[in-house]
Amino acid sequence: MGALIDFVNKIFAKENGSKDQAKERLRLVLLHDRTALSPELLIALKEELIQVLSKYMEIDEDGLEVTLDRADNAVALVANIPVKSVRRS
Amino acid sequence: MESKVIVITSGKGGVGKTTTTANLGMGLAEKGYRVCLVDADIGLRNLDVVMGLENRIVYDLVDVVEGHCRLRQALIKDKRNENLYLLPAAQTRDKDAVQPDQMKALCQELKEQFNYVLVDSPAGIERGFKNAIAGADESIIVTTPEVSAVRDADRIIGLLEASEIYEPKLVINRLRPDMVRKGDMMDIDDVIEILAIPLLGVVPDDEAIIVSTNKGEPAVTDKNSRAGQAYRNIVRRITGEEVPLMDFSSQGFIEKLRRLMGGR
Ligand SMILES: Nc1ncnc2c1ncn2[C@@H]1O[C@H](COP(=O)(O)OP(=O)(O)OP(=O)(O)O)[C@@H](O)[C@H]1O
Ligand SMILES: [Mg+2]
Protein backbone atom coordinates (compact mmCIF):
# COMPACT_ATOMS: atom_id res chain seq x y z
CA MET A 1 0.00 0.00 0.00
CA GLY A 2 2.78 2.37 0.99
CA ALA A 3 4.54 1.67 -2.29
CA LEU A 4 1.41 2.52 -4.25
CA ILE A 5 0.95 5.78 -2.39
CA ASP A 6 4.60 6.58 -3.02
CA PHE A 7 4.16 5.87 -6.70
CA VAL A 8 1.09 8.08 -6.98
CA ASN A 9 2.85 10.78 -5.01
CA LYS A 10 5.85 10.67 -7.34
CA ILE A 11 3.65 11.14 -10.38
CA PHE A 12 1.98 14.17 -8.94
CA ALA A 13 5.04 15.62 -7.25
CA LYS A 14 6.33 18.84 -8.67
CA GLU A 15 9.24 18.21 -10.99
CA ASN A 16 11.76 19.65 -8.61
CA GLY A 17 10.58 20.46 -5.10
CA SER A 18 12.48 22.93 -2.99
CA LYS A 19 14.77 20.21 -1.70
CA ASP A 20 16.89 20.38 -4.83
CA GLN A 21 17.49 24.04 -4.13
CA ALA A 22 18.34 23.21 -0.53
CA LYS A 23 20.89 20.64 -1.65
CA GLU A 24 22.51 22.82 -4.25
CA ARG A 25 22.75 25.81 -1.93
CA LEU A 26 24.22 23.64 0.80
CA ARG A 27 26.75 22.18 -1.59
CA LEU A 28 28.00 25.63 -2.49
CA VAL A 29 27.94 27.12 0.97
CA LEU A 30 29.84 24.14 2.37
CA LEU A 31 32.37 24.32 -0.43
CA HIS A 32 33.12 27.81 0.81
CA ASP A 33 32.93 26.96 4.52
CA ARG A 34 35.20 23.97 4.21
CA THR A 35 37.88 25.82 2.30
CA ALA A 36 38.17 28.63 4.81
CA LEU A 37 41.91 28.98 5.44
CA SER A 38 43.07 30.18 8.82
CA PRO A 39 45.68 32.97 8.83
CA GLU A 40 48.27 30.59 10.30
CA LEU A 41 47.69 28.08 7.53
CA LEU A 42 47.96 30.79 4.92
CA ILE A 43 51.31 31.95 6.31
CA ALA A 44 52.64 28.40 6.43
CA LEU A 45 51.47 27.83 2.86
CA LYS A 46 53.24 30.99 1.69
CA GLU A 47 56.48 30.04 3.35
CA GLU A 48 56.52 26.60 1.81
CA LEU A 49 55.61 27.99 -1.58
CA ILE A 50 58.57 30.37 -1.39
CA GLN A 51 60.88 27.51 -0.46
CA VAL A 52 59.79 25.35 -3.35
CA LEU A 53 59.69 28.11 -5.93
CA SER A 54 63.11 29.42 -4.91
CA LYS A 55 64.65 26.24 -6.24
CA TYR A 56 63.62 27.29 -9.70
CA MET A 57 63.48 31.07 -9.70
CA GLU A 58 64.19 34.14 -7.71
CA ILE A 59 60.91 35.57 -6.51
CA ASP A 60 59.88 38.78 -4.81
CA GLU A 61 58.85 37.44 -1.42
CA ASP A 62 57.22 40.67 -0.28
CA GLY A 63 55.08 40.90 -3.37
CA LEU A 64 53.77 37.34 -3.03
CA GLU A 65 50.02 37.10 -2.65
CA VAL A 66 48.02 33.97 -2.01
CA THR A 67 44.25 34.04 -1.74
CA LEU A 68 41.25 31.81 -2.09
CA ASP A 69 39.06 33.08 -4.83
CA ARG A 70 35.41 32.22 -4.47
CA ALA A 71 33.48 32.27 -7.67
CA ASP A 72 29.83 31.28 -7.73
CA ASN A 73 30.26 27.55 -7.95
CA ALA A 74 33.95 26.92 -7.40
CA VAL A 75 36.82 27.86 -5.19
CA ALA A 76 40.29 28.50 -6.60
CA LEU A 77 43.65 29.07 -4.96
CA VAL A 78 45.08 32.12 -6.65
CA ALA A 79 48.75 32.95 -6.24
CA ASN A 80 50.32 36.10 -7.57
CA ILE A 81 54.07 35.64 -7.51
CA PRO A 82 56.36 38.32 -8.92
CA VAL A 83 59.43 36.67 -10.47
CA LYS A 84 62.74 38.52 -10.37
CA SER A 85 64.72 36.04 -12.42
CA VAL A 86 64.64 32.43 -13.49
CA ARG A 87 67.58 30.26 -12.55
CA ARG A 88 69.43 28.66 -15.44
CA SER A 89 69.61 24.95 -15.19
CA MET B 1 32.09 -3.13 29.47
CA GLU B 2 34.16 -0.03 28.93
CA SER B 3 32.44 3.17 30.05
CA LYS B 4 31.83 5.89 27.50
CA VAL B 5 31.29 9.62 27.58
CA ILE B 6 29.16 10.66 24.60
CA VAL B 7 28.47 14.32 23.83
CA ILE B 8 25.25 15.23 22.01
CA THR B 9 25.82 18.38 19.99
CA SER B 10 24.61 20.26 16.91
CA GLY B 11 25.87 23.79 16.36
CA LYS B 12 22.43 25.16 15.62
CA GLY B 13 20.01 25.66 18.49
CA GLY B 14 16.66 24.00 18.91
CA VAL B 15 17.25 20.96 16.69
CA GLY B 16 16.67 18.38 19.44
CA LYS B 17 19.87 17.85 21.46
CA THR B 18 18.15 17.89 24.84
CA THR B 19 15.26 15.73 23.60
CA THR B 20 17.75 13.24 22.18
CA THR B 21 19.86 13.17 25.34
CA ALA B 22 16.82 12.53 27.53
CA ASN B 23 15.43 9.78 25.32
CA LEU B 24 18.70 7.96 24.74
CA GLY B 25 19.52 8.17 28.45
CA MET B 26 16.17 6.74 29.50
CA GLY B 27 16.36 4.10 26.77
CA LEU B 28 19.84 2.94 27.82
CA ALA B 29 18.78 2.84 31.47
CA GLU B 30 15.75 0.72 30.53
CA LYS B 31 18.18 -1.75 29.00
CA GLY B 32 19.87 -2.03 32.36
CA TYR B 33 22.90 0.19 31.81
CA ARG B 34 23.93 2.67 34.45
CA VAL B 35 23.51 6.08 32.85
CA CYS B 36 24.32 9.63 33.90
CA LEU B 37 22.97 12.60 31.97
CA VAL B 38 25.02 15.77 32.24
CA ASP B 39 23.38 19.08 31.37
CA ALA B 40 26.25 21.20 30.07
CA ASP B 41 23.98 24.04 28.98
CA ILE B 42 24.95 26.27 31.88
CA GLY B 43 22.64 29.23 32.34
CA LEU B 44 19.88 27.67 30.21
CA ARG B 45 19.13 24.46 32.02
CA ASN B 46 16.50 22.32 30.31
CA LEU B 47 17.31 18.67 30.66
CA ASP B 48 15.80 18.63 34.17
CA VAL B 49 12.35 19.67 32.91
CA VAL B 50 12.46 17.39 29.89
CA MET B 51 13.20 14.55 32.34
CA GLY B 52 10.57 15.76 34.83
CA LEU B 53 13.16 16.10 37.60
CA GLU B 54 13.13 19.86 38.08
CA ASN B 55 11.74 19.69 41.61
CA ARG B 56 14.56 17.57 42.96
CA ILE B 57 17.51 19.81 42.25
CA VAL B 58 19.57 20.91 45.21
CA TYR B 59 23.10 21.21 43.86
CA ASP B 60 24.31 21.57 40.28
CA LEU B 61 27.34 21.05 38.05
CA VAL B 62 28.95 24.35 39.01
CA ASP B 63 28.56 23.52 42.73
CA VAL B 64 30.48 20.30 42.10
CA VAL B 65 33.20 21.98 40.08
CA GLU B 66 33.63 24.72 42.67
CA GLY B 67 33.73 22.22 45.50
CA HIS B 68 30.53 23.34 47.26
CA CYS B 69 29.32 19.75 47.36
CA ARG B 70 30.35 16.20 46.54
CA LEU B 71 29.54 14.83 43.11
CA ARG B 72 27.12 12.27 44.54
CA GLN B 73 25.20 14.98 46.39
CA ALA B 74 24.47 16.75 43.10
CA LEU B 75 23.39 13.63 41.20
CA ILE B 76 19.61 13.34 40.96
CA LYS B 77 18.20 9.87 40.78
CA ASP B 78 15.45 9.42 38.21
CA LYS B 79 12.04 8.73 39.69
CA ARG B 80 11.23 5.91 37.25
CA ASN B 81 14.51 4.15 36.67
CA GLU B 82 17.09 3.46 39.33
CA ASN B 83 19.88 3.16 36.75
CA LEU B 84 19.44 6.72 35.61
CA TYR B 85 20.91 9.89 37.11
CA LEU B 86 21.04 13.55 36.13
CA LEU B 87 23.71 16.11 36.87
CA PRO B 88 21.84 19.39 36.33
CA ALA B 89 23.36 22.58 34.94
CA ALA B 90 23.51 25.74 37.02
CA GLN B 91 20.76 28.11 36.04
CA THR B 92 22.01 31.38 37.48
CA ARG B 93 25.63 31.19 36.38
CA ASP B 94 27.20 31.52 32.96
CA LYS B 95 29.40 29.28 30.86
CA ASP B 96 32.60 30.86 32.11
CA ALA B 97 31.97 29.34 35.53
CA VAL B 98 33.44 26.08 34.19
CA GLN B 99 36.75 25.31 32.47
CA PRO B 100 37.25 22.52 29.92
CA ASP B 101 39.80 20.87 32.24
CA GLN B 102 37.24 20.73 35.04
CA MET B 103 34.68 19.14 32.72
CA LYS B 104 37.25 16.57 31.70
CA ALA B 105 37.94 15.66 35.31
CA LEU B 106 34.23 15.51 36.07
CA CYS B 107 33.56 13.16 33.16
CA GLN B 108 36.43 10.94 34.28
CA GLU B 109 34.92 10.69 37.73
CA LEU B 110 31.47 9.89 36.32
CA LYS B 111 32.94 7.22 34.07
CA GLU B 112 34.02 5.27 37.12
CA GLN B 113 30.42 4.97 38.28
CA PHE B 114 28.42 4.74 35.07
CA ASN B 115 28.37 2.75 31.83
CA TYR B 116 27.22 5.71 29.79
CA VAL B 117 27.70 9.41 30.47
CA LEU B 118 25.64 11.49 28.02
CA VAL B 119 26.54 15.18 27.85
CA ASP B 120 23.87 17.56 26.51
CA SER B 121 25.77 20.34 24.76
CA PRO B 122 24.54 23.91 24.37
CA ALA B 123 24.13 25.37 20.87
CA GLY B 124 26.99 27.32 19.38
CA ILE B 125 30.73 26.77 19.04
CA GLU B 126 31.94 28.91 21.93
CA ARG B 127 32.92 28.18 25.48
CA GLY B 128 29.84 26.14 26.38
CA PHE B 129 30.42 23.83 23.43
CA LYS B 130 34.10 23.50 24.28
CA ASN B 131 33.23 22.57 27.84
CA ALA B 132 30.68 20.02 26.69
CA ILE B 133 33.11 18.19 24.41
CA ALA B 134 36.11 18.42 26.76
CA GLY B 135 35.58 15.04 28.40
CA ALA B 136 33.90 13.22 25.51
CA ASP B 137 35.12 9.95 24.02
CA GLU B 138 32.50 9.94 21.29
CA SER B 139 29.94 12.29 19.79
CA ILE B 140 26.45 12.30 18.36
CA ILE B 141 25.52 15.13 16.01
CA VAL B 142 21.86 16.06 15.84
CA THR B 143 20.53 17.88 12.81
CA THR B 144 17.23 18.51 11.10
CA PRO B 145 16.99 18.16 7.30
CA GLU B 146 17.28 21.91 6.80
CA VAL B 147 19.96 24.02 5.17
CA SER B 148 21.06 26.00 8.22
CA ALA B 149 21.07 23.02 10.60
CA VAL B 150 23.08 20.87 8.18
CA ARG B 151 25.53 23.67 7.55
CA ASP B 152 26.13 24.11 11.28
CA ALA B 153 26.46 20.36 11.71
CA ASP B 154 29.20 20.38 9.09
CA ARG B 155 31.08 23.04 11.01
CA ILE B 156 30.75 21.07 14.24
CA ILE B 157 32.11 17.95 12.55
CA GLY B 158 35.23 19.95 11.65
CA LEU B 159 35.60 21.32 15.17
CA LEU B 160 35.19 17.89 16.75
CA GLU B 161 37.87 16.51 14.48
CA ALA B 162 40.18 19.35 15.44
CA SER B 163 39.57 18.36 19.07
CA GLU B 164 40.44 14.75 18.24
CA ILE B 165 36.94 13.40 18.72
CA TYR B 166 36.75 11.25 15.62
CA GLU B 167 33.88 9.47 13.87
CA PRO B 168 30.87 11.46 15.02
CA LYS B 169 27.54 9.69 14.45
CA LEU B 170 24.54 11.40 12.93
CA VAL B 171 20.96 11.64 14.17
CA ILE B 172 18.55 13.25 11.73
CA ASN B 173 15.67 14.66 13.75
CA ARG B 174 12.21 15.94 12.84
CA LEU B 175 12.04 14.20 9.47
CA ARG B 176 8.72 14.82 7.73
CA PRO B 177 8.09 11.86 5.38
CA ASP B 178 5.17 13.71 3.78
CA MET B 179 7.40 16.64 2.82
CA VAL B 180 10.17 14.33 1.64
CA ARG B 181 7.67 12.62 -0.64
CA LYS B 182 6.68 15.94 -2.14
CA GLY B 183 10.31 16.78 -2.75
CA ASP B 184 10.14 19.64 -0.29
CA MET B 185 12.52 18.26 2.31
CA MET B 186 15.94 16.72 1.94
CA ASP B 187 15.78 12.99 2.51
CA ILE B 188 18.01 10.79 4.64
CA ASP B 189 20.41 10.02 1.79
CA ASP B 190 20.74 13.69 0.85
CA VAL B 191 21.84 14.62 4.36
CA ILE B 192 24.25 11.68 4.69
CA GLU B 193 25.75 12.44 1.31
CA ILE B 194 26.43 16.03 2.33
CA LEU B 195 27.79 15.41 5.82
CA ALA B 196 29.55 12.12 5.00
CA ILE B 197 29.41 10.64 8.50
CA PRO B 198 27.76 7.39 9.60
CA LEU B 199 24.05 7.48 10.39
CA LEU B 200 22.99 6.46 13.88
CA GLY B 201 19.29 7.02 13.38
CA VAL B 202 16.39 9.05 12.08
CA VAL B 203 13.66 10.47 14.31
CA PRO B 204 10.43 11.59 12.68
CA ASP B 205 8.74 14.84 13.57
CA ASP B 206 6.18 13.68 16.08
CA GLU B 207 3.62 15.45 18.26
CA ALA B 208 4.28 12.83 20.89
CA ILE B 209 7.58 14.59 21.62
CA ILE B 210 5.76 17.73 22.65
CA VAL B 211 3.25 15.77 24.72
CA SER B 212 6.01 13.84 26.44
CA THR B 213 7.97 17.02 27.11
CA ASN B 214 4.84 18.53 28.64
CA LYS B 215 4.67 15.60 31.02
CA GLY B 216 8.37 15.29 31.68
CA GLU B 217 8.38 11.70 30.44
CA PRO B 218 10.73 10.88 27.54
CA ALA B 219 8.85 9.46 24.52
CA VAL B 220 11.20 6.47 24.37
CA THR B 221 8.99 4.76 26.96
CA ASP B 222 5.84 5.40 24.90
CA LYS B 223 5.19 2.24 22.89
CA ASN B 224 2.79 4.05 20.55
CA SER B 225 5.05 6.91 19.58
CA ARG B 226 6.94 6.80 16.29
CA ALA B 227 9.67 9.03 17.67
CA GLY B 228 9.83 6.76 20.72
CA GLN B 229 10.33 3.76 18.43
CA ALA B 230 13.06 5.64 16.57
CA TYR B 231 14.82 6.37 19.86
CA ARG B 232 14.52 2.74 20.98
CA ASN B 233 16.19 1.72 17.72
CA ILE B 234 19.01 4.20 18.27
CA VAL B 235 19.55 2.87 21.78
CA ARG B 236 19.96 -0.64 20.42
CA ARG B 237 22.43 0.59 17.81
CA ILE B 238 24.48 2.35 20.50
CA THR B 239 24.73 -0.94 22.38
CA GLY B 240 26.06 -2.64 19.26
CA GLU B 241 22.96 -4.23 17.73
CA GLU B 242 22.26 -3.92 14.04
CA VAL B 243 18.79 -2.50 13.63
CA PRO B 244 17.36 -1.55 10.23
CA LEU B 245 15.93 1.93 9.78
CA MET B 246 12.21 2.03 10.42
CA ASP B 247 9.97 2.38 7.43
CA PHE B 248 9.07 6.00 6.95
CA SER B 249 7.47 5.57 3.55
CA SER B 250 4.16 4.30 4.86
CA GLN B 251 3.99 6.62 7.80
CA GLY B 252 1.89 9.33 6.21
CA PHE B 253 -0.69 6.83 5.12
CA ILE B 254 -0.90 4.86 8.37
CA GLU B 255 -1.06 8.08 10.33
CA LYS B 256 -3.91 9.28 8.16
CA LEU B 257 -5.70 6.00 8.58
CA ARG B 258 -5.20 6.11 12.32
CA ARG B 259 -6.57 9.58 12.49
CA LEU B 260 -9.53 8.60 10.31
CA MET B 261 -10.30 5.80 12.72
CA GLY B 262 -10.03 8.23 15.59
CA GLY B 263 -7.20 6.59 17.46
CA ARG B 264 -3.51 6.97 18.03
N1 LIG C 1 11.20 14.71 16.74
C2 LIG C 1 10.56 15.80 17.17
N3 LIG C 1 9.26 16.00 16.85
C4 LIG C 1 8.60 17.10 17.31
N5 LIG C 1 9.14 18.05 18.07
C6 LIG C 1 10.44 17.92 18.42
C7 LIG C 1 11.21 16.79 18.00
N8 LIG C 1 12.46 16.93 18.51
C9 LIG C 1 12.46 18.09 19.21
N10 LIG C 1 11.27 18.68 19.18
C11 LIG C 1 10.89 19.95 19.82
O12 LIG C 1 11.78 20.95 19.39
C13 LIG C 1 12.09 21.85 20.43
C14 LIG C 1 13.59 21.93 20.65
O15 LIG C 1 14.07 20.68 21.11
P16 LIG C 1 15.29 20.59 22.14
O17 LIG C 1 15.08 21.47 23.30
O18 LIG C 1 15.53 19.14 22.38
O19 LIG C 1 16.44 21.19 21.21
P20 LIG C 1 17.92 21.61 21.64
O21 LIG C 1 18.77 21.30 20.46
O22 LIG C 1 18.29 20.98 22.93
O23 LIG C 1 17.75 23.18 21.83
P24 LIG C 1 18.84 24.19 22.46
O25 LIG C 1 19.83 24.44 21.36
O26 LIG C 1 18.03 25.41 22.79
O27 LIG C 1 19.43 23.51 23.64
C28 LIG C 1 11.34 21.34 21.67
O29 LIG C 1 10.17 22.08 21.81
C30 LIG C 1 11.04 19.90 21.33
O31 LIG C 1 9.89 19.46 21.96
MG1 LIG D 1 19.04 21.92 24.72
Does A88 contact B at CB distance below 8 Å? no
- CB-based contact B184 A27, cutoff 8 Å: no
pTM attached to this predicted model: 0.85
- Diameter over CA atoms, chain B: 57
User: What's the mean per-residue pLDDT of chain B?
Assistant: 94
- Helix axes of A18-34 and B188-195: crossing angle, nearest 10 degrees: 10
CA distances (Å), origin B45, targets A10, B39, B78: 44, 7, 17
Closest partner residue to A9 (CB to CB) among B146, B151, B181 is B181
- Diameter over CA atoms, chain A: 77
A62 assigned to some structural domain:
yes
Length of chain A: 89
Domain limits, chain B: 4-260
Contact residues for A44 (Cβ-Cβ < 8 A; gap 6+)? none
- CB-based contact A14 B155, cutoff 8 Å: no
- Give which of B154, B254, B258 to mutate to test A binding, by max A Cβ within 10 Å: B154
Count the domains in chain A. 1
Q: Provide the ipTM.
A: 0.82
CATH of B4-260, picked from 1.10.150.120, 3.40.50.300, 3.40.50.1220, 3.40.50.410, is 3.40.50.300
Closest partner residue to B151 (CB to CB) among A16, A20, A30 is A30
Angle (CA) A24 A27 A29, round 5°: 110
Q: For chain A, what percent of residues have pLDDT higher than 90?
A: 27
A88 assigned to some structural domain:
yes
CA distances (Å), origin B65, targets A75, B99, B115, B125: 46, 9, 21, 22
Of the listed ranges A7-21, A30-44, B20-34, B219-233, the one predicted with least confidence: A7-21
Q: How many CA atoms lie within 13 A of B163 on its CB side?
A: 23
What's residue B157's pLDDT?
97
Domain limits at A64? 38-89
